[in-house]
Amino acid sequence: MLKSKTLTCVAIGGVVLGVAVGLYLATAELPTTHAQGAQGSQPQFSPVKALTAREAYYPGTEDLAPGEMRITACGTGMPNARPKQAAACFLVELGNGDKFIFDIGTGSAERLSALAIPMDYLDKVFIGHLHSDHFGDLDALWVGGVISNRQRPLRVWGPSGATPELGTKYAVERMQEMLTWDTASRLGNVNTRGQQIELHEFDYKGINQVIYQENGVTIRSIPAIHALDGPVSFILEWNGLKFAFSSDTYPNKWWIEHTKDADIAIHECFLPPALLVEKQGWPVQDALNVGTQVHTSPAMFGKVMSSIKPRLAVAYHFFNDFDTRPEVERLVRMTYDGPLALAVDYMVINVTKDDIKVRMAVINEDVWPLPSVTAKLPADPSERIGFTEFIESGREVFADVIQEAYEDTNKRFGTNVQPPDYR
Ligand SMILES: [Zn+2]
Ligand SMILES: [Zn+2]
């Protein structure tokens, strides 16, 4: 297996992304060249046929092989909102059909929607800790998922805390309370089967404890060291493949012991302290504390990866730009010389026992929700809470155009739905 360090430039959507990816050139399916066509016996290009080889991943257009894992970065950035990088989120898809979301940081629900996956399949979320950049879009996935045709409950796993109010159960229940008006407003207007949440809070101190075991997939948690007691990292094992995701953590003995020889190890790699000062205007004291004590710095990330030696190390949790990437990579390379990917949003990693392929996804910004997997039920109007007489008294009912909308729509779909009688 070729383990060269390769700096590959990938042009996506007019943006040139320098991606340091070991194995990239060894495994990418590059299109056949003109030279091969000229020298070979068969012409390689047709003026009317599509190319068969792809350098990019087009969501919804590729089968997964039975033994294959596909990981898509749906958030690789920081707590600061930014168009290019949502906050932490990685989707793991398996060849048995299972899909798992690890962290659901602010902005990441939009990235998940771009992958053109029916929402019913995006029903399992594992939250590493309760910073908003790791679970801030849970509400968007929860409520938005219902509107986008999820018919199943959302299943959420997350750690306890040192006290009950620092745990996932407390946070998710308060999120539901926060959205009391939202939930009430939807009764009778949309079917809300998908609005159930199935919550699994587990002990944050568990070491390599099994928190999920179904369909040949085992997910374990290990404690993480980050800001307060409570954070965890995750290890998923399936079909002889091992995926590890740190969420946020200072380097720790549990990660080093239990993620050894992972196929894919995704670990936080925070911006170097000097860049936190220069680019973000932090006081030096805070930059050093947050950059090396609360989080893992690039050189610390390299030490971690040199200890566990994954088939591919993936660094995330920094603004990955033309002027930050070289410094992050230089610092990682001081302590680690193995296969490396510096993650950006929409990076896609296909993993089999023999091969790891890293590409970028090309997404359709005009994407619509996919249909539900099971039959979609209409809302039950009897659930509707309705308005007070005061608000009702304010309606200006344009009965003629409403009638026309009902008639036209009924005609188009062969239905006979009648408008409400506001008199
Ligand atoms: Zn955090
Ligand atoms: Zn974070």
> What was the pLDDT predicted at 40?
55
- Expressed in angstroms and rounded, the spacing between residue 127 Cα and the centre of ligand 2 is 11
Task: Tell me the pTM.
Answer: 0.90
- Give 16 or 155, the one with higher predicted confidence: 155
Compute the distance from residue 270 Cα to the ligand 2 centre, in Å. Answer: 9
Task: Estimate the crossing angle of helix 168-178 against helix 138-147, to 10 degrees.
Answer: 50
Statement: residue 17 has pLDDT above 80: no
Ligand 2 centroid from CA 422, angstroms: 51
**In the chain, what is the greatest distance between 2 CA atoms, to the nearest angstrom?**
81
Q: How far is the CA of 187 from the centre of ligand 2 (A)?
A: 35
Centroid of ligand 2 to alpha carbon of 153 (angstroms)? 26
Which bound ligand lies closest to the C-alpha atom of 230? 1
Alpha-carbon span 119 to 2, nearest angstrom: 38
H or E element in which residue 94 lies: strand 89-94
Average pLDDT over the chain reads: 91
Burial label for 5, CB within 10 Å (0-12, 13-18, 19+), is middle
Residue closest to 251 by CA, chosen among 259, 243, 262: 259
Surface-to-core class of residue 68, CB atoms within 10 Å of its CB (0-12 exposed, 13-18 middle, 19+ buried): buried
Q: Tens of pLDDT along 214-259?
A: 999 999 999 999 999 999 999 999 999 999 999 999 999 999 999 9
* Per-residue tokens: 296: 């893992």
Structure tokens at 97: 């059909």
Pair 406, 417: CB distance under 8 Å = yes
- Return the pLDDT at 41: 65
User: Rounded CA gap, 16 and 157, in Å?
Assistant: 36
What mean pLDDT is predicted for residues 379-394?
A: 94
Per residue in 80-95, pLDDT tens? 999 999 999 999 999 9
- Rounded CA separation 423/287 (Å): 64
Encode pLDDT of 355-370 as tens digits.
Answer: 999 999 999 999 999 9
Q: What is the CA radius of gyration of the chain?
A: 24
Sign of CA dihedral 100, 185, 86, 134: negative
Containing 184, the helix (H) or strand (E) segment is helix 180-186
Q: Ligand 1 centroid to 199 CA: how many Å?
A: 21
